[in-house]
Amino acid sequence: MGDVALAAPIVRSLANSYPALSISIATRPKFAVFFHGVKNVKVIGVDLDKDYKGFGGIFQLFSDLKKAKPTIVFDLHDHLRTKFLRFFFRCVGIKTLVFEKGRSEKKKAVKPGGKLRKQLTHTVERYQKVFQLAGLNFPIVKAPFVSVDEDSKASLINGLLLKYNLLLVDWSGSFAAHESKMWPIDKYIQIIEKLSTSSPYHFFLSVEVNQKRNTEIFGE
């Protein structure tokens, strides 16, 4: 989800500078919300757990994506799966470009005793550079980069939150795919205690990453 969220400002900025451009985004269906409201963007839902599993699934995904007749394919993930997709598209004469993920720099920066001490290029800037290689130059639009339709927003605020006097806090960092990227659940206790001293909030926690560990922290 993090990679898709970081692509949102780039896609929105690209669409804003090139309104006549037809942009298709291939991602998991649940991530389509990141591109809500961008008129010239079409999201192609890709269910990798059901419809496109294994190597055969990758080729089937290529066959389905090819139906969109892309002029150029941008790989903003550089994963084994997308490497195969790039290869298939090149085989049929479609130009592909992949962003520089900077894996070696990142490894040096987090390596114990590592000597790399410099500001690394932000992922959004890395995404922007790969589009520049294709001659697509554009400034990054101002935040917010993700929009929510008004009906959904009103339903949430006027319904659930007010009804139960809930404070909605985005702790999405605790639900990363890799444990090293997760914000320690233990820290929730400290934040809850601080917020509770300033106002009588009611907290609704949905933490299912590690049920055994959560029980140790929060109790039953």
16 against 107, higher pLDDT: 16
Asked if the model's pLDDT at residue 217 lies above 60, the reply is: no
Cis peptide before 9 (omega within 30 of 0): no
Asked if the model's pLDDT at residue 82 lies above 90, the reply is: yes
Distance CA 194, CA 98 (A): 44
pTM of the model: 0.69
Same domain, 128 and 182: no
Q: Establish if 94 belongs to a structural domain.
A: yes
Pick from 35-44, 87-96, 143-152: least confident: 143-152
Q: Which domain holds residue 187?
A: 150-218
CA distances from 94 to 62, 87, 218 (A): 12, 10, 53
HSE on the CB side for 159, CA within 13 Å? Answer: 6
Q: Establish if 58 belongs to a structural domain.
A: yes
Same domain, 34 and 8: yes
pLDDT tens digit string along 130-149? 999 999 999 998 887 877 66
Pick from 49-53, 76-80, 82-86, 214-218: least confident: 214-218
pLDDT tens digit string along 160-213? 666 656 655 555 455 566 666 677 777 777 877 777 777 666 666 655 545 555
* CB neighbour list of residue 17: distance below 8 Å, 6 or more residues apart: 136, 137, 138, 139
DSSP symbols for 122-172:
PHHHHHHHHHHTTT---PPPPSP-S---HHHHHHIIIIIIHHHTB-----G
Same domain, 155 and 187: yes
* CB neighbour list of residue 29: distance below 8 Å, 6 or more residues apart: 43, 45, 46, 47
Pick from 57-61, 105-109, 206-210 the range whose average pLDDT is largest: 57-61
148 against 89, higher pLDDT: 89
CATH of the domain at 105: 3.40.50
Same domain, 6 and 71: yes
Distance CA 35, CA 144 (A): 12
Q: Look at residue 174 in the predicted model and tell me its pLDDT.
A: 53
Same domain, 14 and 95: yes
Helix axes 187-198, 211-218, angle to 10 degrees: 40
